[in-house]
Chains A and B, each alone.
Chain A
Amino acid sequence: MDITRRKFVKASAIALASAAAGGTMGALSGCGTESGAPAAAASADAAGTVKTVGVCRFCGCGCGVIVEAKDGRLVSVTGDPENGSSRGLNCVKGYYLANALYGDDRLTKPLIRDDKATKGTDGGLREATWDEALDLVAARLKETWKADKSRLAFWGSGQQPIVEGYATAKFWKAGLLSNNIDPNARLCMASAVVGFMNIFQTDEPAGCYADIDETDVFVTWGANMAEAHPMLYSRLTARKLADSNVRHYDVTTLTTRTSASADKVLQFAPGSDIAIANAIANYLIQNNLYDREFVADHIQFKQGAENIGNAFEDGYDASEAGKTVDSVENITFEQFAARLAPYTLEYAEEVSGVPAADIQELAEVFADKSRKVLSLWTMGVNQHNRGTWMNHCIYNIHFLTGRYALPGDGAFSLTGQPSACGTAREVGTFSHRLPADLLVAKAPHRRYSEAIWNLPEGYLDAIEKPGMHTVKMFRELSKGNVDFLWTAHNNWAVSMPNLTRFLGRGDSDKQGIFDCFICVSEVYPTLSTQYADVVLPAAMWVEREGAFGNGERRTAVFEKAIDPPGEAQWDLWMLMEIAKRVLEGETIGGQDAFDLLFGAVYDKQAGQFKGSQREVCRTLWEEYRTFSNPQLNEKAAAINAAEKLKMEAKQLAPYDLYIENHGLTWPVREVNGQWLPTLWRFCDGPQEDGFDQLGVQQYGEQDLAAGVSFYKSADRKPSAVFRPYEPPAEVPSQEYPFWFCTGRLLEHWHTGSMTRRVPELHRALPSALLDMNPADCERLGLKDGDRARVTSRYGSFEITVSTAGRTVPPEGMAFAPFFADETLVNLAVQDVYCPLSKEPDFKKTCVAIEKI
């Protein structure tokens, strides 16, 4: 770098950091705007570099970045000060965003496995042409589809960009008439989703990240934000620093880095969080500390099916208990209070081990209306055999105290993936969903989707029954009941629970993984590609255009900055090429099936898109946007009005506005030609300040308690549902005396397929360690660095023991992250799931630990 360039780069660096800190040096650099932000999207500077707008590829925070490319390579990454989620900041993984693209072993050619016996090994894949690979995948998919479409499946992801997720769901649901499509988001936030739908009849958080800056008390429930959501945790600690009266209560089963900022840690026995939450709710009612006005104006009360058992068996969903888990009935407030009455502080202490005085203190924090309280939770709540119930219990407390949908006063389930909300949930890549919260099981929802997709009326009745959810998909695969599986943007062979069964390494179900034809779209070799019959090399992150939707309802576009390496291709191109082959000769309502579904963006004869990536994304977005803008489609508008679907309540803006604005939070309302985002959903107030003024005016009722109106809920009243404490699926025994908990740590995102390619991140956290309590180690004769075998009734793995790890488990518990495929902790993790959400409980497997 010559001295002039170096001066320029350094001045830019200072200016950008100053702007992010709210400082005064933002005008130092010639490359900055007045705010210190880099200039507009896709701009070139004198040195020949091109800047594009992007979003971080990793966790669910959705941090904005400006990406700079020169000569076809990325040369800088900058926190985007104009992105409202991150305001210019990135966590340390931001250093390596670009490096994640440049691992030495990027997949650059299609690969085919000729001998299934080589599955599970390093070898057996040979290079192929795209035509050969696509022909093979399409032939196997079509063969399965024609023979028995219950035996095909697609497993997607909360990392799949929005328009690709939309197109995949459309191909699967409308093209193949199959609901056997589910995302890996089933593993991380399905419990939050079912909670939202049960309680609010809409799948969305009411709050936003700005709540972190405005609250007075943080309550983290089963959440290690310091490792898993670093940018948001940075905002939490900044808020604490800014005001010495701000408090943080960490409700957790083990001490983590997040506990470091807590004023009090409530460490509870696994699974007993429901008893604690119910005790808080009971205390509020018994002591007349609840908000009567809020409850009267806004809340209805219910109870549901109880003693629902656990999903150990493959047939659980079809069992009597499994079929009735969703049932609820209305009860009075008095009945609700009576159900809570057994949950005294003393009972909660007995079940959870948390001192009654600490639970009372937290209850009184919720009762103190002079201060705002924000609950934040992640996988400890969602990956829980009663995950949906625990979501209910947290909302119950917030409803009783009138703390929901208000700035700084709220309850927020944080997402773990960059587009778990935008794609898995909003687009509807779940086995029971259609786009925009619509459900396959509801006839008006199918009619609405048919209108937008220009399908004959009644065409989607063939998919009124939900398909296989994720665990069922892999259980059936292991039994030999899935003949075709396509996976993308995930690494199921590492991230799924009960891998001993699913990878055919147990005593039974050994053949399914070998017999099933598996296509894996990937950017690097992974354990999943070792089980693939075909590997399709994918373009990664800013090698193509895409969009993510993060945890605060913010949709943000990442522009294409560079070309993918070798023959790697955009996932959307793969989808089009396979769809055109499978749908060859098929018609829908007398029209060519492929052209009806995708003719607007793809010329199947020419084998190419109709326009640039920008134009393709815009066209698909505008079609998808019609779901939330029914006025764009006359037939849809009529159904929306007749069925009172309120589809425009989740209104999305035209595509290009997301680029111009560096992301927008939905609903985005058109006011006098301007599109205004919403930060605080259901909260009345000026739309231009981020409140939901237009939604409340159109559908809700003004001047109710707290100035909120839950207009998407039945009778405009969300449900407080009583949920009892029921014990974990399995509790420690003489044979399996320890709890085993798994999760993420800072350096490695999910299964490490990207972050482990970055040498610095790999060096920082080279292997998965088993964090143990020193007393347990002493009893077992283990010391730091020893190898141990961890065994459950599902399987076993070997791992190195540590008492100096990132987490400090209590006696009787151990923790290990799941990123390391050489350790593969999920060989031993149970696949028991929440009966309502079907999300597995990764936190409470019972294991034996022995020195080896």
Chain B
Amino acid sequence: MSDENLSMNDEPVVISSLVVETVSGKTAAVAADLAAREGVEVHETQGHKLVVTIEAATTGASHAVASGFAAVPGVTGVNLVYCNFEDEFAGR
């Protein structure tokens, strides 16, 4: 994790992590596609599974990003593991 990704620390942030499942042989291509998306980082590849985090302003924005994964060729499953939204509620 780079500090560059943590520079916007005064804005609300929802941090979530997911396991994205892919078709064998397309894992690297999917990883590259996801990593190019705003707020998305790919941290690890385990077989056909990718460990991914999303940082976005709201739960809804996180969900929108995650929902977009399903349309990436080679993605067969998007599984939410963790979602922290303490900033979002703090802002209410």
Binding site for B on A (CB under 8 A): 1-3, 6-7, 9-14, 16-18, 20-25, 49, 68, 70, 73-79, 88-92, 94-96, 98-99, 102, 231, 234, 237-238, 241-242, 759-760, 763-764
- The answer to whether the Cβ of B51 comes within 8 Å of any Cβ in the partner chain is yes
Interface string of B48-85 (1 = CB under 8 A from A): 11111101000110111011000000001111111111
Q: Of B1, B46, B66, B89, which one neighbours A92 at CB under 8 angstroms? A: B66
User: Are B86 and A78 in touch, CB under 8 angstroms?
Assistant: no
User: Are B89 and A17 in touch, CB under 8 angstroms?
Assistant: no
B36 → A minimal CB distance (Å)? 19
User: Are A241 and B24 in touch, CB under 8 angstroms?
Assistant: yes
User: Are B59 and A760 in touch, CB under 8 angstroms?
Assistant: yes
Kindly state the separation between the CA atoms of A91 and B80 in the bound complex, as whole angstroms.
6
User: Are B21 and A76 in touch, CB under 8 angstroms?
Assistant: no
User: Are B1 and A11 in touch, CB under 8 angstroms?
Assistant: yes
Binding site for A on B (CB under 8 A): 1, 6, 9, 12-13, 15-19, 21, 23-24, 43-44, 46-53, 55, 59-60, 62-64, 66-67, 76-87, 89
Q: Which residue of B lies closest to A763 (CB)?
A: B60
Query: A9 and B43 in contact (CB under 8 A), knowing A241-B76, A764-B67?
Result: no
Q: Identify which of A1, A2, A70, A234 gathers the most chain B CB atoms within 10 Å of its CB.
A: A1
Kindly state the separation between the CA atoms of A764 and B63 in the bound complex, as whole angstroms.
10
Q: Identify which of A17, A76, A89, A237 gathers the most chain B CB atoms within 10 Å of its CB.
A: A17
Q: Which residue of A lies closest to B21 (CB)?
A: A238
Q: Which residue of B lies closest to A12 (CB)?
A: B82
User: Are A94 and B44 in touch, CB under 8 angstroms?
Assistant: no
User: Are B15 and A90 in touch, CB under 8 angstroms?
Assistant: no
User: Are B13 and A90 in touch, CB under 8 angstroms?
Assistant: no
Q: Which residue of A lies closest to B3 (CB)?
A: A3
B21 partner residues in chain A, CB cutoff 8 A: 234, 237-238, 241
Q: Which residue of A lies closest to B16 (CB)?
A: A13
Q: Of A3, A6, A76, A231, which one neighbours B82 at CB under 8 angstroms? A: A76
User: Are B81 and A88 in touch, CB under 8 angstroms?
Assistant: yes
Kindly state the separation between the CA atoms of A759 and B61 in the bound complex, as whole angstroms.
11
B52 → A minimal CB distance (Å)? 7
Query: A25 and B63 in contact (CB under 8 A), knowing A16-B81, A17-B17?
Result: no
Query: A760 and B6 in contact (CB under 8 A), knowing A17-B18, A25-B44, A92-B78?
Result: no
Kindly state the separation between the CA atoms of A595 and B24 in the bound complex, as whole angstroms.
63
Kindly state the separation between the CA atoms of A16 and B44 in the bound complex, as whole angstroms.
12
A-B CB contact pairs (8 Å), 30 listed: A1-B9, A1-B86, A3-B6, A3-B9, A6-B6, A6-B13, A10-B6, A12-B82, A16-B82, A18-B43, A18-B44, A20-B79, A21-B50, A24-B44, A25-B43, A74-B89, A75-B86, A76-B83, A76-B86, A79-B80, A79-B81, A88-B81, A90-B80, A92-B80, A95-B62, A95-B63, A96-B59, A96-B63, A99-B59, A238-B21
B3 → A minimal CB distance (Å)? 8
Q: Of A10, A98, A234, which one neighbours B53 at CB under 8 angstroms? A: A10
Kindly state the separation between the CA atoms of A78 and B17 in the bound complex, as whole angstroms.
9
Kindly state the separation between the CA atoms of A31 and B21 in the bound complex, as whole angstroms.
25
Q: Which residue of A lies closest to B58 (CB)?
A: A760
User: Are A759 and B60 in touch, CB under 8 angstroms?
Assistant: yes
B85 partner residues in chain A, CB cutoff 8 A: 75-76, 98
Kindly state the separation between the CA atoms of A89 and B77 in the bound complex, as whole angstroms.
11
User: Are A241 and B62 in touch, CB under 8 angstroms?
Assistant: no
Kindly state the separation between the CA atoms of A356 and B76 in the bound complex, as whole angstroms.
32
User: Are B48 and A241 in touch, CB under 8 angstroms?
Assistant: yes
B54 → A minimal CB distance (Å)? 9
Q: Which residue of A lies closest to B44 (CB)?
A: A23
User: Are A79 and B9 in touch, CB under 8 angstroms?
Assistant: no
User: Are A95 and B44 in touch, CB under 8 angstroms?
Assistant: no
User: Are A95 and B13 in touch, CB under 8 angstroms?
Assistant: no
A73 partner residues in chain B, CB cutoff 8 A: 89
Q: Which residue of A lies closest to B53 (CB)?
A: A13
A49 partner residues in chain B, CB cutoff 8 A: 86
A763 partner residues in chain B, CB cutoff 8 A: 60
B19 → A minimal CB distance (Å)? 5
User: Are A237 and B82 in touch, CB under 8 angstroms?
Assistant: no
User: Are B6 and A18 in touch, CB under 8 angstroms?
Assistant: no
Kindly state the separation between the CA atoms of A179 and B68 in the bound complex, as whole angstroms.
50
User: Are A95 and B1 in touch, CB under 8 angstroms?
Assistant: no
B89 partner residues in chain A, CB cutoff 8 A: 73-75, 102
Q: Of A74, A75, A89, which one neighbours B81 at CB under 8 angstroms? A: A89
Query: A21 and B9 in contact (CB under 8 A), knowing A92-B63, A241-B76?
Result: no
